[in-house]
């Protein structure tokens, strides 16, 4: 069987207690300090990550609002540009119609003036030819009278 002596057991217990005290005094506080420091570092990193995440969410919301505002402004600008283009188109068409009406009116005036001028020229030519014919008739009549006399 086992041959265990009481002195060996007592010495073993004393050795274990001494080792416990030495380890506790020398190493346990350093290990606990390291564990506590690591725990604080992890907590700080989690807090920093939470703050960064909240900041990112806030910035994302701001950018979303700015983007929506920019889209609204762009739609407004496009709408105003379309309205201005339509007004400009209508103005150009109106001006073109007015100008074409003025050109037509001027052309009609020119036609009337040319017709009057042509009539006057024809009348003047007829009158000139009538005078020439009358002179010839008078001349012929005088020649006939002179022969008869």
Mean pLDDT in residue range 59-79: 97
The model's pTM is: 0.45
The tens digit of pLDDT for each residue in 95-147 reads: 999 999 999 999 999 999 999 999 999 999 999 999 998 888 888 877 777 77
Q: Provide the domain count of the chain.
A: 1
- Name the one residue in this structure whose structure tokens are 């069987």: 1
Q: For residue 147, tell me if it sits in a domain.
A: no
Among residues of the chain, what percentage have pLDDT more than 90? 72
Domain housing 43: 13-110
Q: For residue 6, tell me if it sits in a domain.
A: no
Give pLDDT, residue 48. Answer: 96
Q: For residue 104, tell me if it sits in a domain.
A: yes
Q: For residue 53, tell me if it sits in a domain.
A: yes
Q: For residue 26, tell me if it sits in a domain.
A: yes
Mean pLDDT in residue range 19-29: 85
pLDDT of 1 > 60? The answer is no
Q: For residue 36, tell me if it sits in a domain.
A: yes
């Amino acid at each position: 069987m086992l041959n265990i002596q009481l002195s060996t057991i007592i010495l073993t217990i004393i050795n274990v207690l001494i080792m416990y005290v030495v380890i506790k005094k020398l190493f346990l506080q350093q290990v606990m300090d390291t564990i506590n420091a690591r725990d604080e570092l992890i907590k700080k990193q989690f807090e920093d990550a939470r703050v960064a995440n909240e900041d990112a969410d806030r910035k994302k919301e701001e950018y979303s609002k700015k983007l929506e505002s920019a889209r609204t402004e762009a739609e407004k600008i496009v709408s105003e540009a379309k309205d201005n283009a339509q007004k400009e188109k209508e103005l150009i068409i109106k001006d073109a119609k007015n100008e074409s009406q003025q050109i037509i009116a001027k052309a009609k005036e020119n036609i009337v003036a040319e017709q009057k001028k042509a009539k006057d020229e024809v009348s003047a030519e007829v009158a000139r030819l009538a005078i020439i014919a009358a002179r010839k008739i008078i001349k012929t009549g005088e020649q006939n009278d002179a022969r008869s006399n």
